[in-house]
Chains A and B, each alone.
Chain A
C-alpha cells in the first residue's frame, strides 16, 4: 500500500515539473506555431541566473521569482530579435515554416555553449531551500517532502493563474483569438505581434520555474551539458504532444500521465525501461490519437 502511494506521489511530483515545461512549449506553439527546442537551454540559463541570484541574495525565495522574470524577458527577446524575423523570411521555399524550429535547435546549442564559456563546464551547486526528507505518516516515510510540496504548489499556482488569464480576462481572449486566427485577431485590432511576445514571455517564466525547481528538487547540481535538462526537454515535449499541443489543461494532463506511467515502470518493472516506455507512449498516442488527449480533430483550437 505505501509503495503504491509513493508511486503516485513520485509520478505526480515528476509530472508536475514536466507540466511546467509542457506548458511553456504549448504557449510558444500556440502563439507562433513554433516548437521551441531551445526551451531547455533557456530554462538552463534561467537556472544559472537563479544560481547567481542565490549567491548574491542568499535567499532562494527572492531568486526564484527574479529568475522567472529574467527568464520571461530573455524569452521575449528571443521572440522579438530572432523568431519574428525568421518567421517573416521563411514563408516560401523548401524549408518554409520549419526555419524557426531549426533555429531553436541552433539556439539550444548556442546557449549551452555560452553557459560553458561563462560559468565553466563543472557542476554548480544550488542549495535546496527546504528539506528533501519525506513527511512521516505514522511509522512510514512517504515520498513527499516539503521540497516536493513546494514544486507541486508552484505548478498548481501557475496553472490556476494561467487558466484564469486565458479563460476569464480580455488578455486571455486576445491570446486565444491570436492563436486561432492571427488574421481575424488583427482585423479586430489586436496587436498580434505583442500578443506573441507575451506568449513567449510567459513560456520563459514557466521554463525558468521548471529548471530551478527541478534542480533544487534533484541533486542541486547542474552543468551546461546536464542530462537532467535534456530529459526535461524530452519529457516536457512528450507531455505537450500527448496532451494535444494546443491546450494548457492537456499539457498538464499529459505530464501527469507521463509521470505516473514512468513511476509505475520504474517501481514495478525496471528503471532501465523508462526511456523506452516514454517514447513508446509518444508513438502510441501519435498512432492512436494524433490530436492528443484534449486536442480537437478539427485542428486548431481557440
Chain B
C-alpha cells in the first residue's frame, strides 16, 4: 500500500433517525500511525459517526474504504477481523469477571476452536493462548498487576485502562476510543495522552471527545462536527483559530 492511501476513509456519510438528521455529508480520513480526533459539542453526531463505522448504526448513504479498498459498511462482529477495535463511552467491563477474563473477551478472533467443538471442552490450548495475549495487552497499558482482580473492584481510571487493553488484545490497525479522557483528572489525562501517543507508533487512533482541550495536544488532525456536519478540519492550531469552531463551542451560531 502506498503511504498516500488512507487506512480508513469515509465519505458523504448521512444518517437519520426517523425524521431527525444526525449526520449529513460527513467525511473522515485516517492515515497510518495517525491520531485523529473527532470533536464537537454535545449532540453534534460524533458518536453516531463512530457507530456508523462500527456497524451499530446503518448509514442512509455514504461510502466506506479500508486499506484502500472500498467495501460495504462493516458488520459489528466483522470489525475485529478487519482490524478495528473500539472502546465504549460507558467503559462496559463485565463487573463479575476478572480483568483478565474481560480482556480475553476482546481476543475472540484468535480462538481457533469452533463453537461446536469448544462446547465439548476441546479448547484448552486456545484458553492458554488467549490468556497469554490478554496478559500482554494488559502489560501494554501497565495494568498487568490487575489481571486477577474482579472488574467491579477497580478504580475508574483503571477500568479505562482495562477497556483499552480489551481493544488492544485484538491487535487492531485502527483503535477507536470513545471519550478516553472522560471522567479523568488532569494527571490521568496526561498519562492517557502519553499512552495514546505510544500506541500510535503501532497503529492509527481515532478519538471521539467532547472537550476540545483534552485532545488538542494528542491529535495530529481534528474534525469538528456541529449539527451533524463537518464545520472544520485540520491541525489543532488551524482548528483552534477557526471562527466557525469558536462560534460552535461558544454557542453563538456561525
Residues of A within 8 A of B (CB): 164-165, 168-171, 173-174, 176-177, 180-181, 183-192, 194-195, 198, 296, 298, 301-302
Contacts and interface: CB of A to CB of B under 8 A. Distances in A.
A189 B80 contact: yes
A190 B123 contact: no
A168 B119 CA distance: 11
A188 B108 contact: yes
Given A191-B77, A301-B96, A184 B118 contact: no
Nearest to A171: B118
B18 to A, nearest CB: 9
A191 B22 CA distance: 28
Contacts of B86: 187
B217 interface: no
B186 interface: no
B184 interface: no
Given A177-B94, A181-B92, A302-B97, A187 B85 contact: yes
B133 interface: no
Interface string B94-126: 111100010011111101010100110101001
A54 B94 CA distance: 45
A192 B166 CA distance: 18
A170 B118 contact: yes
Nearest to A192: B77
Contact of B88 (A170, A176, A184, A194): A184
A192 B86 CA distance: 17
Contacts of A171: 115, 118-119, 123
B161 to A, nearest CB: 16
B224 interface: no
A301 B95 CA distance: 8
Given A187-B76, A187-B79, A189-B80, A181 B106 contact: no
B19 to A, nearest CB: 14
A87 to B, nearest CB: 16
Contacts of A164: 121
A186 B76 contact: yes
Given A170-B104, A174-B105, 10 more contacts: A165-B121, A174-B108, A177-B105, A186-B77, A188-B80, A188-B106, A189-B80, A189-B109, A302-B95, A302-B97
B97 A169 contact: no
Contacts of A174: 105, 108, 115
Nearest to A191: B77
Given A177-B94, A298-B95, A170 B76 contact: no
B90 to A, nearest CB: 9
B126 A181 contact: no
Interface string B164-176: 0010001000000
A198 B94 contact: no
Nearest to B126: A170
Interface of B: 54-56, 76-81, 85-86, 88, 92, 94-97, 101, 104-109, 111, 113, 115, 118-119, 121, 123, 126-127, 130, 166, 170
A185 B123 contact: no
B111 to A, nearest CB: 5
B105 A173 contact: yes
Nearest to A189: B80
Interface of A is mostly: helix
B77 A190 contact: yes
Contacts of B126: 170
B121 A185 contact: no
Contacts of A185: 105
A174 B88 CA distance: 18
B95 to A, nearest CB: 7
A173 B79 CA distance: 19
A173 B126 CA distance: 12
Contact of A189 (B56, B81, B96): B81
21 contacts: A169-B118, A169-B119, A169-B121, A170-B104, A170-B113, A173-B97, A173-B104, A173-B105, A177-B94, A184-B94, A184-B105, A187-B54, A187-B76, A187-B80, A187-B85, A187-B88, A188-B107, A188-B170, A189-B108, A190-B77, A301-B96
A89 B53 CA distance: 23
A188 B101 CA distance: 13
Contacts of A186: 55, 76-77
A170 B111 contact: yes
A173 B131 CA distance: 12
Given A165-B119, A198-B115, A170 B95 contact: no
Contacts of B105: 173-174, 177, 184-185, 188, 190
A191 B54 CA distance: 14
A250 B92 CA distance: 24
Given A188-B166, A189-B108, A180 B94 contact: yes
B249 to A, nearest CB: 30
A174 B166 CA distance: 14
Contacts of A188: 80, 105-108, 166, 170
